[in-house]
Structure 1
C-alpha cells in the first residue's frame, strides 16, 4: 500500500487562460522550446545533489562559526545574527524568479551560472576585513544560491523517470540535513586545527571547493526548460525581495539596538511593500498574466497550509541550531568541534529517518506530521527542562537522547510537508512551488535567527541583570541568564510545533476527503 499522500493535480494550463479571460501572449524574448529533455540518470541526480550541498553546508558551518566570526571582527550578537540573516534573506528573495529564469532560459544553464558565482563569492568571503564586507558578500552569496537551488528540484521534477523522481525528492530532503551536519563537523574540525581568525575563513574556501567540484560532472545533468515558461514579473519579484529585506534586517538588529527610528521605518516600509505586492499579484492574474506568486496556487488549501508549515518548521530549525551552538560554546565552554559532536546525534537521526521515511509513510500516512510535531513540542519542552534544572556540565550528556529524538521527528515533519505541497501543485506551477518552498525555507531560517534568536538574547540579557562585579560573578550571571533565555526560546519553539501539528491535522483531513 502506498502512502496516502494526495495525488498530483494535472492542470496543464493556468486558470487565467480559461475561457472568458485573456491568455498571456508569449514573451518576445523567450527562447524557443527545446523539445523533450533527455531523462535524468542516477549520475545526474548525484551531480545535482552535490551542487545543492553548499547551500546548507554554509548555513550549518556559519551557524557554528558565529562566535569565532564575531570575535575576529569585533562585533556583538546582532552582528553575528546579521551575517546569518544576510545570506538567508537574499536567498529567499531571489528564489521564485530564479525558478522562472530556469524554466525560460534552461535549468542546467542557470544551475551552472549560479554554482560558479557561488563558488567565487564563497572564496571572497574568506578575505572579508570587517562586518560590512562580510555581510555584503554573504548577501551576494545568498543571491547566487537562490539562482541555482530551484533548478535542482525543477530538474528532478521535469526530467527524472517516476521511480528516480520519488527517490530524488527523498534524497533532496536527506541532502539538506547531510549538508548542515557536514558544515558543522567540518567547521568544528577546521577551527580547532587552525589559529583563531583563520579557521572560519578556511571553511569558506571549503564551501567554494564543494560548489566548484559539482561543475566537473555537469555533462550528466540534462538541459531542460518549460515549453510554456511563466512570465518573469520583475516588478513583483522586486516588491517581494524588497519587502523581505526590509522585514528581516530590522528584526535582526532592532532588539539589541533599542529599536532605532530607521528600524521602525523599515518595518513600516516592509508592510507597505507587501500590501502593494498582494494587490499587484491579484490584478496581474485578473488580467490573465502570470504573476510571480499566482494567487490561484495559494487558493489550493493544502498548498497554502503546507507552505505555512514549511516556514514554521524552518523558523524553529534555524533558531534551535543557532541557540544551541551559541549556548554550548558560551556556557559549556565547548570549542567548535565539541559543538559539532554535540549535534551529531540530532543530525544523524534526521538523515537516517529521512532515508527510511517512505516505509514509515506506507504504515502511517500523512498523519505522521501531526504525531511528529506533537512529539517535537514535548521534546523541546524536555530540553528546556534539562537546561532549566541543570544548565551545567552534565547537561550535554543528558541532552543526547532528546536531540536524537528531535532529529528523527523533524524528518517526519519536513519530508511529508514537502511531498504534500509538490503533489498538490498544478503541473504548470511546478517551478513556482519549488521556488516558494525554498523561499519560505530560507525566510524561516532567517526569521528564526532574528526573532527567536533575538528572544534568546533579550531574555538572557534581562535575566543576567547588571554586571560589574567580579569576573566569576559576571560569568555565573551571564551563564544563568543564557539558560533562562534558552528556556524561553525553546518554549516559543514548542508553541510553533503545536501550531504545525494543528495545521498538519487540517492537511490530513483534506487528504482523507479526496
Structure 2
C-alpha cells in the first residue's frame, strides 16, 4: 500500500515573465492559497502570479493505464521479496539478518529518495523522471535477479529503492496536472487501490513462481517479472503527456542527502544486529546516524529561516495534526510491514507450508482489506470521525488473540487463524484508509503538499523499520527458545505481535486526539 503523494503547492518566482511552455509539455496551473502570516515555510510557498496555460495535451484513459502499470511493481517487489526471504537466505547461504537487510535496503532507499523526487519532476519534467526511474528499476531488477551474493543483492535492492522513489511521485503528479476532471478523480482512486492490490499480487506471483521454479530460481524469476512489467510500461510511455511545474520548489539536495545518509546509518545496524560483528559496530553506526540526523535537523531550521522550503520543514512538523499524522503513519506501517514478514516466516518455518501455502493463508486477510477499503465510505457514514480509533483498538484486540492462538500452536492452527486474519484485514483497512485524508483535512492549506510527501516517506520508512526492529525481535526470541529456532517461531511471533498490538493502541490514542480536534484547520 502506498499513500497518495499530494501535489506540492507552488512557490514564488522572480518578477520576470514566465517562459511559455513547449507545446508537448503542458504546465500545471498555478494555485493561489491562503498563507500563514507567521510561518517562514508559508512565505516560501507563495505562488507565481501569472496563471499558467491550460495543458496542450491531456492525459487519456490509455495514458492513465500506463501510469498505473508503471506504478504496479513498486509494492509488488516488496510483497514478493517479503514472502521469498526464506528462499533468498537459503539460496545465498546467509543469515536471517542478511535477508532482512535485503528488504530494508529497498524501503529505506525508497524513503530517502521520495523527499526530493517530486520536486525533481516539477523542475525537469515528470515524464522524463518517470522514464528514467522506470528504466533504472527494470535494469536493476534484472541485475538483482542475477546477484551472486548478499552484498551485490543488497546494493542492487538499494538501487531499486532509489529508482522506485524517483518515479513514484511522478505518477500521481502527472494525473493531477494533466488529467481532465473526471479522469483525475478516477485516477487518484485507482492509484490508491493499486498500492494495496500490488502487495497482494506480488505475494501471489512469488508463491506461484517459487512453487514451480524452486528456491534458487524462484525469487530470481520474480525479480525479472517485476522488471518486465516496468519495461512494458516504459515502451508505452509515449501515451503519457509531459508536464512540469511553472513554479518548481527548491530542491534542497543537501537536506535530502543528509536525511538519506542518516536513515541508512540507523536502519542498517538495527537490521544486522549482532551479526554486524558485535555491539560496538552497531552502536558506532547508530551514533553516526544520530549525528547526521542532528545535522539534518539543523540544516532544515537554517533553510527555513532563509525563507527556503526544506525537504522536512520544521514549521510543518509544529502543526499538531501533521505531527500526529506522521507518527500514526509510522506506527501503522511499522506494524504492517512486520506482520507480513513475520507471518510469512512463521507459516513456512512452523506450519510446514511452502511459499504458495503462505500466500493462500493470507488470501483472507488481503481480500478483507480490499473489500473493506471499497466499502469504507458507507462504513464511515455510520462511524464518523471515530473510525480510525475504533479500528485501531479492534486491531490491538485481534493481534493479542492471534498471539495467544499461535503460541499454543497445534496441527489445526493455520485454518483456525483464518477468522482472526480476516478481522485483521478489516481493521487495517479502516485504519489506513482515513488517516491521510483526515490529517490533511486538518492541515493548513500551505502545508498540504509537503505533508503529503512526508506521509509517503514515513510509509516506506515504517515498512523498513518493521522488518528491522520487530522482525529482529521475532527471530531473537525464536532463536533463544530452548526447543530450537523452528519450535520457537510461534513464541517469537506471539511476542512480536504483542508489541504490534501496543503500536495499534498508540495509534488509537493519537487518532482519538485528532477526532476530538474538531473542524479542519484552514490556514
TM-score in terms of structure 2 length: 0.87
Q: How does 1:173-188 map to 2 (within 5 A)?
A: 173-188=192-207
- Deviation of the 1:306 alpha carbon: 1.2
Matched, 1:70 2:70: no
2-structure distance, mates of 1:438, 1:231:
19
**Structure 1 residues 434 and 379: alpha-carbon distance in aligned structure 2, compared to 1, 3 A threshold:** same
The superposition leaves residues 444-491 of structure 1 with CA deviations (integer Å, 9 ceiling, x where unpaired) of 0000000000111111122x23xxxxxxxxxx5333311111100000
Matched, 1:359 2:366: no
Farther-moved stretch of structure 1 (252-261 vs 484-493): 252-261
The corresponding residue for 2:484 is 477
The corresponding residue for 2:413 is 395
2-structure distance, mates of 1:302, 1:393:
46
**Structure 1 residues 19 and 270: alpha-carbon distance in aligned structure 2, compared to 1, 3 A threshold:** closer
The corresponding residue for 2:214 is 195
SS class of match (1:334): coil
SS class of match (1:229): coil
The superposition leaves residues 35-82 of structure 1 with CA deviations (integer Å, 9 ceiling, x where unpaired) of 433554444333222211101100010001111110110001001000
**Structure 1 residues 25 and 14: alpha-carbon distance in aligned structure 2, compared to 1, 3 A threshold:** closer
- Deviation of the 1:412 alpha carbon: 1.2
The corresponding residue for 2:500 is 493
Pick aligned residue for 1:508 from 488, 512, 515: 515
The corresponding residue for 1:107 is 126
The superposition leaves residues 237-294 of structure 1 with CA deviations (integer Å, 9 ceiling, x where unpaired) of 1111111000100000024556432221110111111111111111111111111112
**Structure 1 residues 14 and 88: alpha-carbon distance in aligned structure 2, compared to 1, 3 A threshold:** farther
The corresponding residue for 2:287 is 268
Matched, 1:435 2:456: no
The corresponding residue for 2:162 is 143
**Structure 1 residues 94 and 513: alpha-carbon distance in aligned structure 2, compared to 1, 3 A threshold:** closer
Farther-moved stretch of structure 1 (134-143 vs 156-165): 156-165
SS class of match (1:407): helix
1-structure distance, mates of 2:138, 2:41:
48
The superposition leaves residues 420-457 of structure 1 with CA deviations (integer Å, 9 ceiling, x where unpaired) of 24444556555533431221111000000000001111
**Structure 1 residues 21 and 414: alpha-carbon distance in aligned structure 2, compared to 1, 3 A threshold:** closer
The corresponding residue for 2:438 is 420
Pick aligned residue for 1:448 from 466, 486, 495: 466
Pick aligned residue for 2:265 from 240, 246, 249: 246
**Structure 1 residues 128 and 378: alpha-carbon distance in aligned structure 2, compared to 1, 3 A threshold:** same
1-structure distance, mates of 2:219, 2:346:
19
Gaps of 5+ in 2: 1-7, 10-30
1-structure distance, mates of 2:505, 2:40:
43
- Deviation of the 1:167 alpha carbon: 4.2
Matched, 1:122 2:141: yes
**Structure 1 residues 505 and 222: alpha-carbon distance in aligned structure 2, compared to 1, 3 A threshold:** farther
Q: How does 1:2-401 map to 2 (within 5 A)?
A: 12=33, 35-37=53-55, 38-161=57-180, 164-257=183-276, 259-389=278-408, 391-401=409-419
- Deviation of the 1:161 alpha carbon: 4.9
Contact 1:94 1:237 in 2 (8 A): yes
The superposition leaves residues 304-345 of structure 1 with CA deviations (integer Å, 9 ceiling, x where unpaired) of 211111111110000000000011111111111101111111
**Structure 1 residues 434 and 41: alpha-carbon distance in aligned structure 2, compared to 1, 3 A threshold:** farther
1-structure distance, mates of 2:495, 2:326:
26
Contact 2:196 2:370 in 1 (8 A): yes
- Deviation of the 1:228 alpha carbon: 1.7
Farther-moved stretch of structure 1 (281-290 vs 417-426): 417-426
2-structure distance, mates of 1:22, 1:396:
56
- Deviation of the 1:225 alpha carbon: 2.3
The corresponding residue for 1:458 is 476
1-structure distance, mates of 2:40, 2:504:
43
- Deviation of the 1:295 alpha carbon: 2.0
Contact 2:362 2:421 in 1 (8 A): yes
Gaps of 5+ in 1: 1-7, 27-31, 466-475
Pick aligned residue for 1:410 from 405, 415, 428: 428
The superposition leaves residues 389-426 of structure 1 with CA deviations (integer Å, 9 ceiling, x where unpaired) of 2x232111011111111112111111111222444455
| Alpha-carbon RMSD | 2.8
